Amino acid sequence: MTDAIKTEPFVLNIGPQHPSTHGVFRIKVTVDGEKVLDAEMVMGYLHRSMEKLAEERTYTQNIPFTDRTDYLSSMANNLGYCLAVEKLAGIGVPARGDAIRVIMAELQRLASHCMAVGAFTNDTGAWQTPVMWAFREREKILDIFEMTCGARLTCNYMRIGGVAFDLPAAFEPAVRKLLRELVPFIDEMEGLLVGNEIFLARTRGVGVLTPEQATNASLSGPLLRGSGIAWDLRKADPYCGYEQYDFDIPIGYQGDSFDRFIVRIEEMRQSIKIIKQALDGLPGGPHSTQVPLALRPPQGEAYARVEGSRGELGYYLVSDDGPSPYRFHIRAPSFINLSALKEMTVGGTVADAIVVLGSIDVVVGEIDR
């Protein structure tokens, strides 16, 4: 009788420059053949000391910093920060400003999910067609952002008290045209992949997270909803008048990478539904409240949160009655969602680890703040 053959564990670095790591992020995996025995996350390559720098600038000057955290969802980051300042200073927002914020936040969710879905298909081994389709639709949304505020990626559009500019005359026709074109794109993308046996083999049962694991790790966004938890801040803790809109919360049932993909696809349909309602009921009046340039909120603290593209995006601010925040902290969903990566990858293969990371949809800019 011979002894079973044992292989020596091998440590493999994936990143920080690897194209499948979604940014300058490294996973140090210990493998036995193709099986992952352990996974260690190494981050910090993109750290810019943003939270400390924000304590030296005025409240308004800090808005562009938020563009550069989750740079694929700058509108949502602008919004979360402005809500926190408004809460701290007791500033109201006109009804038109709230409606415009909702439209922009949902357009940003659509753009971000296009990137997430397209990049995820690449991670599963699909060639260029799906990702280029997704990028094509995303470019249309960025065209609308450029029309409105002059920027495509780091928009710097939200302002304390509302938004920087009112909507141009061409905005509504352009958005309605975009929404009509997005519906068949979403249907086509889903139809292309859901019936593809290679895509199903790469995603079904891969990176499973139970509802208990997801809640215990404080996960949020599509990652949490993919595990069957119907938690969405737009309904659980509404802001900007979201309670006025009719939409559903998509959830998954297996908690695997496939469910997280499907949740994002369905969320795109719900965002279209919200934008149509906001456009139909867009009120008149001012788009912003006049706020002093040298804003000095009273002493105190405030926390505001929004349902960003990746989950709960929160801003915690402390004021000492000065022109700059005494403390500025971001609750970044990518950072917290990434905490479940080890649990999701150990026991699978190296190839599965890439798929799992893609299903989380991280942006390293908000991990390394």
What pLDDT, on a 0 to 100 scale, did the predictor assign at position 19? 62
Structure-token pair, residue 275: 């934008």
Contacts of residue 38, defined as CB under 8 A and 6 or more positions apart, other chains included, come to 29, 30, 342, 346
Look at the chain and count its residues.
369
What pLDDT, on a 0 to 100 scale, did the predictor assign at position 3? 63
What pLDDT, on a 0 to 100 scale, did the predictor assign at position 78? 94
Count of alpha carbons within 13 angstroms of residue 338, beta-carbon side? 23
The full set of domain ranges for the chain reads: 44-367
Which fold, 44-367?
Cytochrome-c3 Hydrogenase; chain B (1.10.645)
What pLDDT, on a 0 to 100 scale, did the predictor assign at position 124? 85
Return the number of other C-beta atoms located less than 10 Å from residue 210's C-beta: 13
The bridge status of strand 158-159 relative to strand 327-331 is unpaired
Mean pLDDT in order along the chain per 10 residues (369 residues): 70 76 83 88 87 91 89 91 94 94 95 90 81 90 93 91 92 94 90 87 90 92 92 93 94 92 94 95 91 90 94 93 92 90 89 88 86
**Residue 46 carries which DSSP code?**
T
DSSP letters, 288-322, are B----TT--PPSEEEEEEEEETTEEEEEEEEE-SS
Residue identified by tokens 């950072």 is: 335
Q: What is the CA radius of gyration of the chain?
A: 21
What pLDDT, on a 0 to 100 scale, did the predictor assign at position 182? 92
The bridge status of strand 35-42 relative to strand 158-159 is unpaired
Say whether pTM exceeds 0.85.
yes
